[in-house]
Every structure is written in structure tokens, then in C-alpha cells.
Amino acid sequence: MKSTGIVRKVDELGRIVLPIELRRTMDIAERDPVLITVAGETIILKKHQPACVFCNSFKDLISYKGKNICPSCVTSLVTKV
């Protein structure tokens, strides 16, 4: 894991600001969802990328009733019906 050397304080609402340089490097824009995970005593922030609920593919997703499904899984589901 690489350290950036940047230190930020948590404000009274529990927020921190991600520096613009870091957001640009990680391709995180305003209003982008960020996934927060914990590994031991480490907090990990990762840009959230929705994936297919069945195979975790990120390619050409179709949203159906709030769930993301890739074309391959849609075809597979239709064939089984």
C-alpha cells in the first residue's frame, strides 16, 4: 500500500475531504459513489463500480428493477425459461 503523505482531519459531521489530485488520479468525480471497506485497522475507499448481480461483469450492464445484469446473463436467463 502506498502512502500519499496527505493528512486530513475529520470534521464535526465525520467527513473528510479527498484532495483533488487524489480524486483525479482515481477518476472520482463529484457525486460518484465510493465503497468503504475495513481490513483490520485499515479503512479502504474505492470508487464503486456496479457489476452484474450474477457474474460480477462490468460490461454493457442493463438495469432491471434496480439490479444490474449483463447481456450474457440476460440471455442465459431467457434461455432457461
- pTM for the model stands at 0.59
- In this predicted model, what pLDDT tens digit does every residue of 24-65 receive, in sequence order? 998 899 998 998 999 999 999 988 888 999 998 988 999 888
Q: In this model, does residue 81 exceed pLDDT 70?
A: no
Domains parsed from the chain with CATH numbers: 1-49 (2.10.260.10), 50-81 (no CATH)
In 3-state terms the chain splits into helix, strand, coil percentages (rounded to 5) of 20, 20, 60
